[in-house]
Structure formats: C-alpha cells, structure tokens
Structure 1
Amino acid sequence: MSHHLSGPDLRSPQGDARLDMTDLFAFTVPGDRTVLILNAHPAVPKEGAALHPDAVYRINVDTDGDHQADVAFSFVFSPPRDGRQTVSVYRATGQQARDHEAAGEEIISDAPVSFGAEPQVVSAGPYLFSAALRSDPFFADLEGIANQFQWTGKDWGADKNVFSIALEMPSSELSPDPVIGVWGRVSLRTDGELKSVDRGAHPSLTAYFNPENSAKTAYNEGEPAQDRDTYLRQWTEVLQHTGGYEQAAAEETLNTVLPDILRFDRSRPAAYPNGRTPTDDITSARLTMVSGGKITSDHIAPHTDLSDRFPYLGTPHAEPASL
C-alpha cells in the first residue's frame, strides 16, 4: 500500500505513525522548477496531530548516478505546544548530505506547521516551503488487494489525511543535469543516537517484497547503494513466485526499482517511474509488476481534490477516518 505502514506487522515503524513515511513525489512545474514532496503520518487524527520532535525527516537527491546523496534536505520539528509546531529546514551537500543528521545550511528557520484548511507557505530565497496537514493523495482498493483481488470499488485513501512536507525550487538548485535520483528517510534519535526507522522511494516495495518483519526493519535501516546486492536474489524469487517470471525477466524488471531510488529525468514529463506525480496510478503499476501482468488495475481513480498551486495536495478532510 504505497509506503504506508512500512514497519513490521504492517504497522508504522516502531508502532508510531509520526515516523511513518507514506509517499514521495518528484515532478516539475512551469518556470523550470522542481517540486519534492515527502508525506508522513498516515490517517492523521483530527486532534493532537504533530510530527515527531526527535526525528529527522529527509529528502535525499543523487545528482551523479552513484546511488548516494549529493544534496539533502532535512526537516526538524519542534515539540508541539498548544496546538502549534514549527519546523526548520537544512540543506546539505557533499559528504554532509550522506550523514543522516540535519547538517548543512539552515535555509528556513522555525516555519509554522499548518493544521487548518489553508496551508501556510514560506518563501525563502529560491525556495517555497510548506509543512501542512493535507488530504492524502494515495488511492487504492486495499480491501480488494487483501481479499485475493476481489475488487470492492472502495478507495482506502478517499477520506484520509497526511502531513505533507513540500519544497519547490529552481531546477538548477539541485543540478544542471536534468537527471536526478530521489529517496526519503525518517530517522529517530533515541538515547542520543540517530537511527533510520523508515526509508524508500518507489511505492509499495517493502509491503510486497519484504514479507518478514526482520526484513522490513533491516530494509528501513539500509542504504540504497547496497540494495541491488542485498535484495536482487530474494526479490527475484518473489517475482518468480507471484508472477511466474523467468529469472532473467525478473532481474530485468527489478532494474526499475533496485536500488530504491526514484529516477527523474526532468527533461521529460514526470510520470512514474520517471519521477512521480500525485495522480500517477502506482498501485496498478505495482500490481502489474508483482503479478507478471495478470492483474493490471485495482480500478480506483486518482483523487480530484488536488491543487494546481503549491503545495499541490488537497484541503484536509474535516472528519478523517482512522486506519
């Protein structure tokens, strides 16, 4: 289910929804600008919602194709108080971008987190930024998937909210080369140590390919640069079992998602797996992959409450449903 509930037992990492990265988007908008969005906290409750003050939320960008971060944006949230929360944004490059800590230049300080219907947008130098409660753009018939693909027509995400961290900038701010790779990560500081508890780029990978709880935990702690060596063999076996693939065909198919970095050639329109927009039907794409083409759609359409302006996701639902 996209990247929701990516911890053991199909729960949030460490059983804490605040630490659950749900989706990652990368697309361009007019004016030669790149948009990066990381969503977290599935099915945000109406009251008492906030992001974790001891976590580092992060968007990593590979600009040279070596599967390591060359630019990284880290988002650090204050402890919530009286229904309010702020967030600071850091931009790191080079070796600092490969550390999970919030390092580098602080490009936005103490921006307000928006909990109401209207997002507060911060303009800082070349950047637009928003951290806000928004309508979850994820769409899928999860009940049908869980019930042996007997489709119900029910969109799990139709009434859900999510916290959305959105950043827009001139495309040249990342790299003059139009081709970039993007992935997200959430790390938690515990007993003075920062540890990765969730990460990903391509949607719905760990749910389908890492059935064991220990595998999910190890995956969330891992680095994309090691993904192909670590997971190619076992994920090939998964595709052979679920989709009837021959080994060579399975390995070729997995080239799209291993390593787990979302490649985006910005000289071409964004459409998954070339980047990802909020209307891309990633559930059908993943069903097609794992079934070997036997199941090509869950028959759920994209949400229609999206905005054509920053931060692009829809107004949050007044009475969001729980998980």
Structure 2
Amino acid sequence: MSHHLSGPNLRSPKGDARLDLTDLFVFLAADPGRTVLIMNVNPFAPTQGEFFHPDAVYRINIDTDGDHRADLAYSFTFSEPADGHQTATVHRAQGAQAQQHDAGGQVVVSEAAVDLGHRPSLVQSGGYRFFAGLRSDPFFADLDGIVNDFQWTGRDFGIDKNVFGIVLEVDDGELGEGPVGVWARVSLRQNGGLLSVDRGAHPSLTAYFNAEDVKEKYNAGEPADDWDTYKDAWAAVLAHTGGYSAAEAEQALRTVLPDVLRYDRTAPVGYPNGRRLTDDVTSARLAMISHGKIDDDHIPPHTDLLTVFPYLGTPHPVG
C-alpha cells in the first residue's frame, strides 16, 4: 500500500497506528497563488488510535536548494487528550533549525482544535489555513489483487477507510520561486530523546523495496543519504521484479531516490511532480516494478474528495 503499515512485518511503526505515516500530498490550492501540503497518518482511524500521539512530532520538510536537506519545516504537535478533545500547534522553522527533528521556530498556529466530526472546521492564522482531524482515506488500490499475483478483484482497499489528516495551506511565497523537495516524518519522544519512526515522500516504496530488517533504519534515516545507502539493494529488486539492466534500474531509481517528492508549481502538477489526491500512484508504482508489464490495477480515485479546503473527504462511519 502507499505508505500504510510501514514498520516491519506490515505493522505500524512501534506497533502504534498513531505514528504511521500513510501518504503525503502536495498540490495547487483552489485559490490561486497557494499550495496545499497534506500528511495523513493513522490507518484505519479511529479504531487503532482515537487521537494524535501527544509525544510525537509530525512534520513536513521542504528543501529549497536541492541538497535534500530541510531548509523549511512545518512541525505539528498535539496536546494530551482531555474530555474527548485535543489541540494542535504548528511551528515553522527555517535554516539550521529546520534540520532538527524537534518542533522549533515560530508558532504560526496555536491550540487549534482537532476536528473529529463530519463537517470540517477551518483554522485561519495569518496566511495559513490549517486542519487536523478525522477524514476519509483518499488512497485507492486493489490490494487483494496485488497480493494475489495481480489477479484483479475490483475491490478498493481504501474505499471505506479513514485516516487522521494534517492539512496546511500556504502562500506560494513561503516556498520560494523555484522547485522544492518535500517529505514527511513522524518522530517519537522516548527516553529523553526524539526518534524518527517513520518518513517518506514517494508512495509505495518501502513496501516493495525494503527488506523487513531494513525498514526501521530507513524510517530513521535522512533523504540525503538515500542514494548511497539504498541504490544497489533497490536496483536488485528491480532486476528481480522487472528484469531491469543495471543502467535501466539506475535511471528508474533516479525518480524516487532520494525519497523526496519534487514540486514545481510552474509545471503541470501531478505525480511525480507533487501529488494530487486523485493521482493513480498505485498503477505508477506497479508499472515501475514490473518494467511496464503491469500498468493498471483498475481502481479509480475516490469521489468523496472536496474541491476546497481541507480537500479530504468526509469520514466514513465507524463500527
């Protein structure tokens, strides 16, 4: 699946769904001159986690100079739940501070209510629009068919699933004039420190490419180290799954390693230039690993998406 269950053995990192990054999206907002950043977490919400983890830092990193290191970062932290309620705070960090995994820098949204209802609330703070709460999962794929040797079932895994969405809309000027690289990370406070337990940008990489004993190391790593660390092992996967030559594998991997999603708003936006909620990333990844032999799982995008902020659909009934 896209990035769901990205810990070892198809489990959530640390066995905690609240720490499980499911998807990252970057696309043009409905209002001209603005960009939408979305990171979804907590697959099967809220059954495996009724709130965001209060000891976690959820984070969207932005590389503005092409070195695959954060120059700008938005960190999202959440209060301890109390009486069925939780609040969120958003920090904006720049420069060297953006490369620290902890929440730091300027507070741009303070104590916004986490929204667990069906009618989404909008938090406006300066030039920022923010939402955090329960929404429908936009991920669409025939997972049963994928695990059954690509015998398609027509069943969409995500059609009735929910996630916790974190949605931030910013002025384009926040990101500078040129292309940027974007990735998400979830870190957990434990034993007096902060441990990165999940990270990613491109969909469906760790599920196809990382061995079980590598996933925790990958989740703790930095994109700037990805090419040197994973190129050879991932090229071997492509040789096995798609019969790639060494040169073909290297060319294919240049699109997804380092694991940073390129976003150039001056070019047509759609995966792999950013990612919209309707982009068929499952078929794109199947085509990649099969060397074009499998190019479609025949599952369409979801139809419950909103055309305005926060863009994610109304949550499905639970239970």
Q: What TM-score, normalized by structure 1, do the two folds share?
A: 0.97
Report the equivalent of 2:28: 28
Q: Extract unaligned runs of 5+ from structure 2.
A: none
Contact persistence 2:42–2:48 (CA under 8 A): no
Report the equivalent of 2:281: 282
Deviations 1:178-234 (A, max 9, x none): x01000000000011100000000000000000x22210110000000000000111
Contact persistence 1:48–1:83 (CA under 8 A): no
Report the equivalent of 2:258: 259
Q: 1:73 aligned to 2:91? A: no
CA offset at residue 319 of structure 1? 2.7
CA offset at residue 47 of structure 1? 8.8
**Residue 103 to residue 144, structure 1, CA distance change in 2 (3 Å):** same
Report the equivalent of 2:105: 104
Q: Report the RMSD for the aligned CA atoms in angstroms.
A: 1.0
**Residue 47 to residue 275, structure 1, CA distance change in 2 (3 Å):** closer
Contact persistence 2:87–2:113 (CA under 8 A): yes
CA offset at residue 46 of structure 1? 5.2
Deviations 1:224-246 (A, max 9, x none): 00000000111001000000001
CA offset at residue 270 of structure 1? 1.4
Report the equivalent of 1:157: 158
Cα distance in 2 between the residues matched to 1:86 and 1:70: 26
Contact persistence 2:199–2:220 (CA under 8 A): yes
3-state DSSP of counterpart to 1:159 = coil
Mapping of residues 1-323 of structure 1, within 5 Å: 1-29=1-29, 30-45=31-46, 49-177=50-178, 179-210=179-210, 212-319=211-318
Deviates more, 1:48-57 or 1:256-265: 48-57
Cα distance in 1 between the residues matched to 2:196 and 2:246: 32
Query: Which letter does structure 2 place at the counterpart of 1:127?
Result: Y
Deviates more, 1:255-264 or 1:266-275: 266-275
Deviations 1:21-53 (A, max 9, x none): 000000012321011000000010359610100
3-state DSSP of counterpart to 1:51 = coil
Contact persistence 2:42–2:49 (CA under 8 A): no
Contact persistence 2:46–2:134 (CA under 8 A): no
Contact persistence 1:46–1:318 (CA under 8 A): no
Q: Extract unaligned runs of 5+ from structure 1.
A: none
Query: Which letter does structure 2 place at the counterpart of 1:37?
Result: I
Contact persistence 1:139–1:300 (CA under 8 A): yes
Cα distance in 1 between the residues matched to 2:51 and 2:212: 27
3-state DSSP of counterpart to 1:162 = strand
Q: What TM-score, normalized by structure 2, do the two folds share?
A: 0.98
Contact persistence 2:144–2:155 (CA under 8 A): yes
Moved over 6 A (4+): none
Query: Which letter does structure 2 place at the counterpart of 1:100?
Result: H
Cα distance in 2 between the residues matched to 1:15 and 1:47: 10
Contact persistence 1:120–1:132 (CA under 8 A): no
3-state DSSP of counterpart to 1:144 = helix
Identity of aligned residues (%): 63
CA offset at residue 136 of structure 1? 0.3
